[in-house]
Structure 1
Amino acid sequence: MRHLPKNKTKLVCTIGPASDSAKMLEKMIEAGMNVARLNFCHGDFVKHGEVISKIRVASRKTGKRVAILADLPGPKMRIGDLAEEFVTLERDARFTLSSADIIGNVDRVSITMKELFAVVKEGDTLFLNDGLIELRVQEVANEDIHCTVVVGGQLRSRKGLNIPGIDLGASAFTVRDGECMQFALEKGVEAIGQSFVNTARDVEDVRAAAKEMGFQP
């Protein structure tokens, strides 16, 4: 990251609707935040631009440096909608990822990337909600992936699904990622985060795209 103090440990905080006010940003900076993460899975460029401006102002007012991390969406590998605001998955419970277009609950949920059913197998590990929830595949049958919850937690609609080490044939750097990165770099963010990285080539693609946009990663 550029233009940060030499201490290597950084406190990264995701900025969302509950934390993007000028007053709250100043409080977070005073409390020790030195990297503000913007999740480009949500919001539009107008909103992100406004938040970037607020962070810069809060940084100047507090006299403390804060880097901005633009976290790119990556390929759309996500669960579908849930009937409730959230469900709580308990350890050792059964949970099913389904190809059917359903409204999810505590037992099952749909997923957006149907290619997954052709490549996962018994024993594979899957992660939901930015890696906070861990599932172990028990069986793949009738286009349903039956899992056991290894690490539980709260799950909300449209959260990410990550499968380490499994190649779905989809590039981790999408056209939408390129648009988001162009916007973020033009706004002067200090760091770019890439989602669903599986190979070194995925990282190289981002670096090459940044150079084509006129920026040196």
Structure 2
Amino acid sequence: MAQFLNLHFSSPTTISPLLNRPRRLFPCPLLQFLTRTRSAPSRIYAVSDLSETAAVVSSGNGGMPVSPGILVDAVTEAELKENGFRSTRRTKLVCTIGTSTCGVDQIEALAVGGMNVARINMCHGDHAWHREVVRRVRRLNEEKGFAVAVMMDTEGSEIHMGDLPADAPSAKAEDGEIWTFSVRHFNSPIPDRTISVNYEGFAEDVRPGDELLVDGGMVRFDVIEKLGPDVKCRCTDPGLLLPRANLTFWRDGNLVRERNAMLPTISSKDWLDIDFGIAEGVDFIAVSFVKSAEVIHHLKSYIAARSRKR
């Protein structure tokens, strides 16, 4: 998706790139334009094309940039001649925004550090919280000249844990400890060493002797007993448990996939989150465990139809 760069020479020593104000389309382009100062040709500056404010590069004071527009990359002219556009950074940085990084100052610090995409994870938080994050990123782009895109990552139909007892941010599972994984919905405080599971068929599918892996193996348990909706497990590889971590279970050294294959790629909750993302104008929507191209075609058609109604 091409954008056009018009150069306006307001003085012999100043170049003001006047960028077309692009609409936030899907996917968000992260192409970069190159501008340079006339009196300091030894430095080349790469400016992102999504800035909604014109970035101004002044050649005064040795050609140092003095505008509020944020210059993403800088390379020497010799490097540009040798490598062409490969001199600019191609690898983009995607940063997940959480409770410790959602403040205005923290988001700006991430952008200054090189963040290209702010990721919001729909496994955590509610729409009000995510809406505020999106608006802070947009405001940062508008006021400071950044070009940070927003990616919304859907929860998907993977099996994962719920919140930890006492709403703790983490819990340590020690070797030999017995933990209970339950499909029950707890209205009262969650009992100690008990973790809720989002998949209703979890207790039916696992068997004593199966190995339960948390977050891809960060913590491991052996299933020792099933009691109705509860599954008793013994920790065999200690580690830190985090809320909403994904769960997989293995039998005879093989990943049990049967039930996962029956779960929809996009759940009913995901569709509500996708509606939210469309309404907020996010730049990317990420979907996990895609089973076929038809899922993507369906999602793209849905986004196009819903976007036209806005």
Paired residue type of 1:88: K
Determine the structure 1 residue equivalent to 2:218: 133
- Structure 2 length normalisation: TM-score? 0.55
Tell me, yes or no, if the aligned pair for 1:117 and 1:140 is still in contact at 8 Å.
Answer: no
Q: Quote the Cα distance in structure 1 between the aligned partners of 2:176 and 2:115.
A: 35
- Secondary structure, counterpart of 2:203 in structure 1: helix
- Cα gap change, 1:190/1:150 in structure 2, threshold over 3 Å: closer, same or farther? farther
Determine the structure 2 residue equivalent to 1:190: 283
Q: Quote the Cα distance in structure 2 between the aligned partners of 1:40 and 1:140.
A: 32
Paired residue type of 1:110: S
More deviation, 177-186/94-103: 94-103
Determine the structure 2 residue equivalent to 1:45: 127
Matched, 1:111 2:194: no
Q: Quote the Cα distance in structure 2 between the aligned partners of 1:11 and 1:94.
A: 39
Determine the structure 2 residue equivalent to 1:174: 267
Tell me, yes or no, if the aligned pair for 1:70 and 1:192 is still in contact at 8 Å.
Answer: yes
- Cα gap change, 1:7/1:132 in structure 2, threshold over 3 Å: closer, same or farther? farther
Tell me, yes or no, if the aligned pair for 2:174 and 2:235 is still in contact at 8 Å.
Answer: no
Deviation of 1:87 after TM superposition, in Å, equals: 1.7
Tell me, yes or no, if the aligned pair for 2:152 and 2:286 is still in contact at 8 Å.
Answer: yes
Q: Quote the Cα distance in structure 1 between the aligned partners of 2:100 and 2:234.
A: 33
- Which protein shows a greater Rg? 2
- Secondary structure, counterpart of 2:120 in structure 1: strand
Bigger relative CO (Cα 8 Å, ≥ 6 apart): 1
265, 269, 291: which is aligned to 1:200? 291
Matched length: 207
Structure 1: give runs of 5+ residues left out of the alignment.
Answer: none
Matched, 1:120 2:203: no
Structure 1 residue runs of 4 or more that deviate by more than 6 Å after TM superposition: none
Paired residue type of 1:200: K
Deviation of 1:124 after TM superposition, in Å, equals: 3.8
Paired residue type of 1:137: D
146, 160, 184: which is aligned to 2:233? 146
- Structure 1 length normalisation: TM-score? 0.74
Determine the structure 2 residue equivalent to 1:20: 102
Identity rate of aligned residues, in percent? 23
Determine the structure 1 residue equivalent to 2:16: none
Matched, 1:59 2:144: no
- Cα gap change, 1:42/1:60 in structure 2, threshold over 3 Å: closer, same or farther? same
Matched, 1:4 2:30: yes
- Cα gap change, 1:81/1:47 in structure 2, threshold over 3 Å: closer, same or farther? closer
Q: Quote the Cα distance in structure 2 between the aligned partners of 1:140 and 1:204.
A: 40
- Cα gap change, 1:137/1:194 in structure 2, threshold over 3 Å: closer, same or farther? farther
Determine the structure 1 residue equivalent to 2:117: 35
Paired residue type of 1:188: G
Deviation of 1:153 after TM superposition, in Å, equals: 1.3
